[in-house]
Chains A and B, each alone.
Chain A
Amino acid sequence: GNSVTQMEGPVTLSEEAFLTINCTYTATGYPSLFWYVQYPGEGLQLLLKATKADDKGSNKGFEATYRKETTSFHLEKGSVQVSDSAVYFCALNPVGGSNYKLTFGKGTLLTVNP
């Protein structure tokens, strides 16, 4: 079956530090890949997405590149802010076949200190 593996947290950084959260996946074909963010007490919201190999999704200074050869979709940001403190989820939507389930990683808690 499909699966998503994220680096385990929590991750604690100082403001303006560089962020990487690793995400690798297992799926057949060419799934669509997503990063969602969950701020405290809220539902998840889309951060960025990529729908085919070598696509780069970007939003709010965050980036992730769809790497088919390494089955990865790592999230990066050059300079984090306190307001980026949240839980980050990597997710995939399979494409094709009869599998319509969506798969999420376990989430990575990021805390950014001033």
Chain B
Amino acid sequence: EAQVTQNPRYLITVTGKKLTVTCSQNMNHEYMSWYRQDPGLGLRQIYYSMNVEVTDKGDVPEGYKVSRKEKRNFPLILESPSPNQTSLYFCASSLNYGPYEQYFGPGTRLTVT
């Protein structure tokens, strides 16, 4: 089954404790993205990747890092999480950039206390 998986689905952590949210897709997609969803702000792109070793900032990259060492995986790293990073996070992938739909993961709800 074609899908995007994220782990963990739920995470509660404390300020400053480094964490990684994993994302994996099995569709051989070139383009992958991370988003955060916040009430009243909708969906905002954090980082995206056009292919292996090619990543770039989205609209809200501060406080996040990503890497793309393999085509299928695109982990999101919070080196020193802060409470304002409490949010619902989605990973997504698409065949390529342009007129292609994005396939979304189920989401990761992160709470930073």
Contact = CB atoms under 8 A, between A and B. Distances in A.
Partners in one complex: yes
Given A89-B43, A102-B45, A106-B41, A44 B104 contact: yes
Contact of B99 (A89, A95, A107): A95
Interface stretch (A16-24, A45-53, A67-75, A76-84): A45-53
B101 A100 contact: no
Given A49-B101, A93-B97, A95-B98, A43 B43 contact: no
Interface in A31-57: 32, 34, 36, 42-46, 49, 51
Interface of B: 4, 31, 33, 35, 40-45, 48, 50, 56, 58-59, 90, 92, 97-102, 104-107
Contact of A45 (B35, B43, B104): B104
A106 B59 CA distance: 14
A44 B43 contact: yes
A104 B102 CA distance: 12
Q: Identify the 5 closest CB pairs spanning chains A and B, nearest first.
A: A106-B42, A43-B104, A32-B99, A104-B43, A51-B99
